[in-house]
Amino acid sequence: MSAVDPIADFLTRVRNASRIKRREVQMPSSNLKVEIAKILKEEGYIKNYKVQETKPQNVLTVTLKYVEAGAAVITGSRRISKPGCRVFCTRDSVPKVLDGLGLAVISTSQGVVSGKRCEELGLGGEVLCAIW
Where does the pLDDT of residue 3 fall: very low under 50, low under 70, confident under 90, or very high at 90 and above?
Answer: low
pLDDT digits (tens, 9 = 90+) for 12-62: 999 999 999 999 999 999 999 999 999 999 999 999 999 999 999 999 999
The letter for the amino acid at 76 is: G
Residue 37 and residue 49: Cα distance in Å, rounded? 7
Residue 28 and residue 57: Cα distance in Å, rounded? 7
Count Cα neighbours of 12 within 13 Å in the Cβ-side half-sphere.
Answer: 6
Count Cα neighbours of 126 within 13 Å in the Cβ-side half-sphere.
Answer: 13
Spell out the residues 6+ positions from residue 122 whose beta carbon is closer than 8 angstroms to its own: 91
